[in-house]
Amino acid sequence: MKTIAILNHKGGTGKTTSAANIGAGLALQKKKTLLIDIDPQTNLTEGFGIKDVKSSIYNSIRDGADLPIVKINEYLDLVPSSLELVGAELELVSRMARESILKNLLKKLKAKYDYVVIDCPPALGMLTINALVPADTVLIPLEAEFYAYRGIDRMVAIISDVRAHYNENLTIGGVFITKCNPKRLLTEHITESVQKHFGDKLLSTKIRVNVALAEAPTQGKDIFRYAPTSNGAIDYENLVKEILTKI
């Protein structure tokens, strides 16, 4: 079982869209995949049409209960989030081994899945640490905008701290550009800057601006079920193939 954390502390980078469609793309490749929504905003959960859940990852973090698993299709499952997760940061402060709660919960599932994909919150708090401790690798979506780099050094520092103290095998597996418009000169400049900063960690696949990517979660679907011939589906299919090849 390989665990991938999708991380960017900045909102609006396509993090949740990427988590959903990377997970769905892996499932299309017949890889048994578990998506985990550890973001209190619950966008990944609602993006698959799941609302008013009776049990969420919050109950597992709080009580140690087994992770609640919702079946999406034959190869794809989801652990839903809930708004209650907002209070988890404060509740975790006094807990022993609070950084490793999710890691311990995932131990029971090692024989069941090929991949676990975790959608992290847009913050660098205890929930994000819980996602990084069991992760093998981190994927970072970067929007092709001027402010894409804001705070990126802090995010990389958090990953380094987790590697030093909790998970020596954690790596940055790749960085990829989202909301890309190839016709814009700014996109080329951002890509060049990312290349200088991350070197060969920059994946060659770029996710183009595509309205179908925004529409799909409103219908409770991933891009492959909603618009399988769209640019969004083509780009995420290529990204998944690159991930399987390089990571």
Q: Output the tens digit of pLDDT for each of the chain's 247 residues.
A: 999 999 998 888 899 999 999 999 999 999 999 999 999 999 999 999 999 899 999 999 999 999 999 999 999 999 999 999 988 888 887 788 899 999 999 999 999 999 999 999 988 899 999 999 999 999 999 987 777 677 788 889 999 999 999 999 999 999 999 998 877 766 777 788 788 888 899 999 999 999 999 999 999 999 999 999 999 999 999 999 999 999 8
- Rounded distance, CA 41 to CA 39, Å? 5
Q: Tell me if 2 sits within 8 A of 115, measured CB to CB.
A: yes
**Collapsed DSSP state (helix, strand, coil) of residue 180:** strand
φ, ψ of residue 171 in degrees (nearest 5): -130, 160
Helix (H, G, I), strand (E, B) or coil at 221: coil
Kindly compute the dihedral angle of the four CA atoms of residues 33, 222, 175, 13, in this order, to the nearest 10 degrees: -130
- Which two tokens mark 38? 């550890």
Nearest to 118 by CA among 4, 217, 213, 232: 4
In sequence order, the 6+-apart residues with CB closer than 8 A to the CB of 39 are 16, 81, 85, 119, 120, 121, 122, 127
Residue 154's Cβ-count burial label (10 Å; 0-12, 13-18, 19+) is exposed
